[in-house]
Structure 1
Amino acid sequence: MIQEVMKYYFTEPVTRHEILRDKERLVAEVEVDGEMYYLKGEKQPVAFIEKIIEFTILMNDAGLPFIVPEKTIIGNRYVEHGGLLFILEKKGFGEEIKHLRLSHSREIGKLLGKQHAISSTTDFRFGTGTSWGMFGGNETDAIGDYDENELSYLDFIRNVKEEGTFRMELATVKELYQSRRLKLKEVWSSLPSGPVQGDLCPYNLLFQQDKITAVFDYDIAGDEVLLNECIGVAVFLAWHHDFEGTETPEERYHAYIEAYEAERPLSDGEREMIPHLFAIIRAFRYDRIEEGIEKIKHGDGKAFLDETIMLLQG
């Protein structure tokens, strides 16, 4: 299949290819005439792929290092083959970063601020949400519908109830969480939003001398409340990503936010919502909750519950 799809892009033969992923979506590294590319195929609506292409061109034209899908021989930027839609991304310059330094966090904050500044002024929209989304209703598991933060909260509540020991702590968590969620829900639709890449994290970036040289992977791009993605990425980078350096997570977080705001200053309304959004994202990020549930199941949940309350209190 790879050889067949690549014929739409090149008359030269593929000299080497390696399948990197073959579950749900096909991802292969391919070499043609000494140049490296990533061929990506998945089951997506044509309209969404066309939106991705339009979005990458928009960001690239604005000077951001978004990799734009390559054109085929006849000028298209995607190929339909074998029930999948394929795009081809040329491999960027630089390297992936496994262990962040403070300079990397600042650079990501800066780039996300630039992306959001463009997103807040363009009329372009995907028409679908992202995996960061909140208040989608959880009626389906479709991106933009389900609310991962709320699902983590509900999973946490269910497991604490089953354990049956921490009734007072559980009541406090419920009250704090629901109070903050209510304040956010009241203003959510009025907060600045726009189209975003949806996963601007180190595994989708290339760096060269601490500067971001390439952004790739757009399969979960969509429309999002900009502050939601900003704080979500900040929490991930500061508390959940491998880091090398002496700075505390709090210092990393503030360095990221300062870099973001240098490119896109937050409005007064957004600033008012930061404590509420930070508290529920920090307390109920899925991987933190997964770890906490294991502690609760093994009778070691008191400290985790106390920390959760502390985070929600702010």
Structure 2
Amino acid sequence: MGITEQSVVEVLEQFGLQGTVSSIKPFIDYHSEADKEVKTIAKVGFKDRAPLVVKFLKEPEHPPSVIESQSVFSEYLRNCGIRTAQRYEKNGTYCLPYQWDGLDLTVTIEEYLGEEIKAIDFPLARNIGQLLGKIHTVSEEGGCRIGKETIFNFLGYNEVSGYDTFRKMSTIRELDPLLFERIKGIYEEKREAVQRLWNLLPRAATQGDISINNLTVADGTMGIFDYNIAGDATLVGDMVLQGLLTANEMPLAEGILEESRPDLFRVFCEGYCSERALTKEERMAAECMYSVASAFWFTDIRYDDDSLEQLRARGENERAERKLQGIYDSLQQDCPKYFNSGNSGEFKKRVKNT
């Protein structure tokens, strides 16, 4: 799009805001003429006020009605004590129309909350878990809903699941077909166990992506921003998948070893549960969710250099076979004690001969 000072000033005037622009730093500047899509997000500095984040948007998956609901949710959290970027409004509306190059865009303005976190350690993992626990508690108690799903739905669209890729590989004759079938059998049983509990699990709106590039820390308090994929979620599923995303994919601070990632997840969960205790049904579901999500974690199945797909692509069949055995072993392991509902041993007996 090529955001200009003039366009920023025009948007400020729409919102009834004033300020002398001193700098414009685009975070994202995307414009597709073919798809008629725009996503431009910029930090705007001023000579006479604190910086703001201005967003120019036109995306089919993010209509103004959804952005408005996400903004309302964000402000609700802020008013309930969650440190999040203040949204600006005009006549009770957070999303205003803006014309650019013949396109009808949506514009929003919010405060700039601070620099994103660059790497994770154990205290940060605990704090992130605590923050998510607070968000879930506030949202659940307030009956918050946005009206769309997040991208981390254990039983639906789930961007961190590698199971579909795994399933497509089951016809590769160089790999043990019997082992594939055993793995798929355990997967189906654990998924069905979650399905049976699904309607008993609390649901509410959530921010949707607590990656550290959406988090900041100031004066010892963690803040969160970027609600573009906020939506409604089954809370325990959001906890497990977001916790694994935090532990498995975030850059590690100096001195934190790769082998520490499972412990980062444990600390994350301890932080979460210090703010929001899981129900019995949530603990039972969490056991299966953790087992399946860990075994079929998307980077381990498809993207990492030693992932199952990459090993197969290089013809390293022996290593791929060991990876397959590792998936099977992972699915059969006892779940972490912080999920222990007292049923994991019984469940393990049922799947042992699958």
Common fold: TM-score over 0.5: yes
Task: Provide the residue aligned with 2:145 in structure 1.
Answer: 125
1:298 partnered with 2:314: yes
CA contact (8 A) 1:39 1:89 kept: yes
Alpha-carbon distance between aligned partners in 1 of 2:159 and 2:72, rounded to the nearest angstrom = 28
1:53 partnered with 2:67: no
Structure 1 residue 209 displacement after superposition: 5.7
Alpha-carbon distance between aligned partners in 2 of 1:80 and 1:40, rounded to the nearest angstrom = 11
Cα deviation code 1:157-195 (max 9, x no counterpart): 213424643212211221111111111111112201101
Alpha-carbon distance between aligned partners in 2 of 1:308 and 1:283, rounded to the nearest angstrom = 5
Structure 1 counterpart of 2:54, from 10, 15, 39: 39
Task: Provide the residue aligned with 2:127 in structure 1.
Answer: 107
Task: Provide the residue aligned with 2:19 in structure 1.
Answer: 12
Task: Provide the residue aligned with 2:109 in structure 1.
Answer: 88
Query: Cα–Cα, structure 1 residues 70 and 156, in superposed 2: closer, same or farther, change >3 Å?
Result: same
Alpha-carbon distance between aligned partners in 2 of 1:209 and 1:123, rounded to the nearest angstrom = 30
Structure 2 counterpart of 1:226, from 231, 235, 254: 235
Task: Provide the residue aligned with 1:202 in structure 2.
Answer: 212
Structure 2 counterpart of 1:30, from 38, 44, 48: 44
CA contact (8 A) 2:154 2:289 kept: no
Query: Cα–Cα, structure 1 residues 159 and 209, in superposed 2: closer, same or farther, change >3 Å?
Result: farther
Structure 1 residue 149 displacement after superposition: 5.6
Alpha-carbon distance between aligned partners in 2 of 1:278 and 1:114, rounded to the nearest angstrom = 21
Residue identity matched to 1:84: L
Provide the identity percentage: 24
Residue identity matched to 2:70: I
CA contact (8 A) 1:159 1:296 kept: no
- Taking structure 2 as the reference length, what is the TM-score of the superposition? 0.79
**Structure 1 moving runs of 4+ over 6 Å:** none
Alignment of 1:157-168 (within 5 A): 157-162=167-172, 164-168=174-178
CA contact (8 A) 1:235 1:253 kept: yes
Alpha-carbon distance between aligned partners in 1 of 2:119 and 2:154, rounded to the nearest angstrom = 29
Structure 1 residue 228 displacement after superposition: 0.6
1:308 partnered with 2:327: yes
1:188 partnered with 2:198: yes
Equivalent residues, number: 301
Larger C-alpha radius of gyration, 1 or 2? Answer: 2
CA contact (8 A) 1:131 1:220 kept: yes
CA contact (8 A) 1:104 1:211 kept: no
Structure 1 residue 128 displacement after superposition: 0.9
Residue identity matched to 2:233: E
Query: Cα–Cα, structure 1 residues 75 and 188, in superposed 2: closer, same or farther, change >3 Å?
Result: closer
Residue identity matched to 2:239: C
Alpha-carbon distance between aligned partners in 1 of 2:117 and 2:267, rounded to the nearest angstrom = 18
Residue identity matched to 1:49: I
Unpaired segments ≥5 residues, structure 1 = 137-145
Alpha-carbon distance between aligned partners in 2 of 1:270 and 1:12, rounded to the nearest angstrom = 49
Q: Aligned-residue CA RMSD in angstroms? A: 2.1
SS in 2 for 1:218: coil
Alpha-carbon distance between aligned partners in 2 of 1:75 and 1:186, rounded to the nearest angstrom = 41
Alpha-carbon distance between aligned partners in 2 of 1:148 and 1:215, rounded to the nearest angstrom = 21
Alpha-carbon distance between aligned partners in 1 of 2:219 and 2:86, rounded to the nearest angstrom = 22
Structure 1 residue 129 displacement after superposition: 0.7
- Taking structure 1 as the reference length, what is the TM-score of the superposition? 0.88
1:177 partnered with 2:198: no
Structure 1 stretch 167-176 or stretch 264-273: which is displaced more? 167-176
Alpha-carbon distance between aligned partners in 1 of 2:279 and 2:93, rounded to the nearest angstrom = 40
Residue identity matched to 2:276: R
SS in 2 for 1:7: helix
Residue identity matched to 2:98: H
Structure 1 residue 75 displacement after superposition: 6.0
Unpaired segments ≥5 residues, structure 2 = 31-37, 334-354
Residue identity matched to 1:182: E
Alpha-carbon distance between aligned partners in 2 of 1:182 and 1:99, rounded to the nearest angstrom = 36
Alignment of 1:240-255 (within 5 A): 240-244=249-253, 245=256, 248-255=260-267
Structure 1 residue 200 displacement after superposition: 1.7
Alpha-carbon distance between aligned partners in 1 of 2:208 and 2:92, rounded to the nearest angstrom = 27
Residue identity matched to 1:54: V
